[in-house]
Amino acid sequence: MARTATGKRPRSSGATRPRTAVIRPQVTHAGAVQPEWIDYNGHMNLAYYVLLFDFATDTFLDRLGLTPAFRSRHHASTFAAEIHVNYLRELCAGDPVRITTQLLDHDERRIHYFHRMYHRSHGFLAATNELLSLYVDMRSRHVVPMPALIRRRLAAMGRPDGRLPRPEQAGRVIRIRRG
């Protein structure tokens, strides 16, 4: 920005440019790889990736209002129907991690979301986790529609996340590619 003869920046004319919001997946967990999570290969065992992703799921669901108190009061919860984990880079004891969560889709009974686990210091993507959760009445143990309040929160959350690119690992299937 140009400066005046006094060396000061000129005052703004009052006109401001509209700011464009930067849309990012929400951070849902931060922690570190515990030494007891290391397997015989010298890196974090696959079960602990899922544990860390589960911590992020709990935060994500809490933000939707699906808290322990809500679940107790409404006799309802969510069950994981399907999960896919992609292990992209090793994590070792003490490595700091950050997990973000992106809502991919939802309807009245299901929530489809995606976690990314990053090395917090080096910034690389270490693993991803795609999930489909079902809303379940705990008395009947059947999938039922979510309350309107939860669906409205999902709808509000879905608008900004809808502008995010679809994760590269979302929708993958396991197979051996031939020739």
The pTM (predicted TM-score) of the whole model is 0.82
pLDDT band, residue 161 (cuts 50/70/90)? low
pLDDT average, residue stretch 139-168: 86
Task: Name the band, by pLDDT with cuts 50, 70 and 90, for residue 11.
Answer: very low
pLDDT in tens, 33-91: 999 999 999 999 999 999 999 999 999 999 999 999 999 999 999 999 999 999 999 99
For residues 16 and 32, give the distance between their C-alpha atoms in angstroms, rounded to a whole number: 42
> In the predicted model, is pLDDT for residue 163 greater than 90?
no
Which residues in 51-157 belong to E strands, given as ranges?
A: 76-87, 96-106, 110-119, 125-137, 142-143
Give the whole-angstrom CA distance, residue 158 versus residue 113: 10
Residue pair 120/30 in contact by the 8 Å Cβ criterion: yes
30, two tokens: 């931060």
The structural architecture, per CATH, of the domain 36-145 is Roll (3.10)
Least reliable range by pLDDT among 12-16, 47-51, 112-116, 132-136: 12-16
Higher pLDDT: 27 or 172? It is 27
pLDDT at 159 over 80: no
User: What is the predicted pLDDT for the residue at 118?
Assistant: 98
Average pLDDT of every residue of the chain: 87
